[in-house]
Amino acid sequence: MPLNRRELLSRSALAGAGVMLIGSVEALLTAPGAVADTAATGGAAGYGPLVPDPKGILALPEGFSYRILTRTGVTTLESGQTTPSNHDGTGAFSAGGDDDDDAVTLLLNNHEIDDPLGVAEYPVPHLDGLVYDPAAAGGCTVVEVAEDSVREWVGIAGTSTNCAGGVTPWGTWLTCEETEDKAGVGGMTLDHGYVFEVDPKHGSAANLDPKPIKCLGRYAHEAVVVDSYRGHLYLTEDASKPNGLLYRWTPPVGFSHGPGKLRALADNAGVLDAMKCFDAAGQYVDDLSRATKVGTAYRVDWVKVPDRDAVTTSVRKQFLAGEITRSRKLEGMWWGDGGAYFVSSYARTESPGTPHDGQVWFYDPRSSTITLKVLLAVNTAPSQDGAYDGPDNITVSPFGGLVIAEDGDGVSHLFGATADGQTYPIARNELNVGTAEAPEYSEFAGVTFSADGRTLFANIQDPGILLAITGPWSGDDGDDG
């Protein structure tokens, strides 16, 4: 039987597991018991080597194939304009009810466009009733994917730098603006840096008159997840000078989640807090780059944000030294195993701890702790295939482990991580957007499975391509039932 989304999350093999991803063989020296490749254990993680694509777009393992669903400037929206640019975070929803066979998937696709409308070459079209700021070119499109057809239409427009976001248990998409531009900055006429809710199932009427969810704060949002049991929302901030924060929003007493209910709240509803960590000895941790070993666990306290709308001062700058814990490039998040997986993409000179090329942490709300699950050593040869750096969007696989979109230097991959420390390639971007002399490969983003686990969706941000990848995910004929 196909897995529904709740089963997909609960069957992950990552609960309580420590995963070490290897950016270089030298990392083994600091990670006893970790493995650098499948040969070290005689195992067979993944689906085999990647086969070069004669079309020069996507290398995949033998037996896998891809389908281009949308492409910037090429495919057409139902309103007549071409698909917008800068594909980023994506949420997947079954188009039917609980008894549906999941034959049709609805995708909410972010377009991370930070240019004003008059400058952007391929903006999200401004359609009546769906625009927040008339000056902004970003937003989301809804993509309906069936076996023999693809339809795309505008979900929200007039937002800026729509990066990642998160699916909700009630079937909507929270799209996050990764910017702090206020009215009068960058050509904008309204303040930006908010979260907006988009409903993929109930037509344009459900998304009319876009309203920011101001109670979740105004800052450079990256991603968000929902704890449906406790009602909390957790949010990442991709920012620097100083490094960004991890946030928790606690709903007001008596609040019940549901479609459109967040946008109806007062701007100061609930409590927005920032994370503060302590090590096993009770010592304060200033930055997550201090962790150097998989399995490192920190106790978490939450500190109230003074001014969540950042009227005069960016939220992350409102705290004194010693009040909160920071991290560079807090990126993708995914809810699974009763908690939130979240990414710190890398640490360099802007961070006070040890340099790395990526971390994935797991926050357990039951124990109020975070545990380091994934650590990428510094990738010393990013232009060579085989090592990974710069994790960004992540999802939990229905077949165990994590699937991670790479946004690093050099070669760009989708790759997986198993619970026993093995990593394996899933796809490689072969579309060179640079030159023959100086090749450049855009980041992957928007990695997410269909509700039945049969299709992995992902984006190549530049030139803007939404892909559906199918194959023997379960190790046989691709049928997970």
Q: Position 173: which residue type? A: W
For residue 444, being part of any structural domain is answered with yes
By residue range, what is the domain housing residue 104? 5-470
Residue 334: inside a domain: yes
Report yes or no on 477 lying in a domain: no
- Is residue 476 domain-resident? no
pLDDT in tens, the chain (481 residues): 333 333 333 333 333 333 444 332 222 222 222 222 333 334 567 899 999 999 999 999 999 999 999 999 999 999 999 999 999 999 999 997 544 556 899 999 999 999 999 999 999 999 999 999 999 999 999 999 999 999 999 999 999 999 999 999 999 999 999 999 999 999 999 999 999 999 999 888 999 999 999 999 999 999 999 999 999 999 999 999 999 999 999 999 999 999 999 999 999 999 999 999 999 999 999 999 999 999 999 999 999 999 999 999 999 999 999 999 999 999 999 999 999 999 999 999 999 999 999 999 999 999 999 999 989 999 998 888 888 999 999 999 998 899 999 999 999 999 998 876 678 999 999 999 999 999 999 999 999 999 999 999 999 999 999 999 999 997 544 344 3
- What is the Cα–Cα distance from 255 to 261, expressed in whole angstroms? 9
- List pLDDT tens digits, range 395-433: 999 988 999 999 999 999 999 988 766 789 999 999 999
- Could you give the CA distance from residue 203 to residue 212 in angstroms, rounded to a whole number? 19
DSSP 8-state secondary structure symbol assigned to residue 122: S
User: Is residue 481 situated within a structural domain?
Assistant: no
The string of DSSP letters for 241-256 reads TTTB-EEEEEPPTT--
Structure tokens at 330: 């807090």
Residue 478 lies in a domain: no
Instruction: Indicate the number of domains in the chain.
Output: 1
On the 0-12 / 13-18 / 19+ scale of CB atoms within 10 A, 99 is exposed
115 within 8 A of 463, measured Cβ to Cβ: no
- What whole-number distance in Å separates Cα of residue 317 and Cα of residue 323? 11
9: enclosing H helix or E strand: helix 5-10
User: Is 479 contained in some domain?
Assistant: no
Residue 127 CA: distances (Å) to CA of 1, 19, 154, 263? 40, 45, 8, 20
Residue 145 CA to residue 320 CA, distance in Å, equals 48
Domain of 146, CATH number, reads 2.120.10.30
Residue type at position 243: N
Tokens of residue 358, six digits: 């990526």
- Does some domain include residue 223? yes
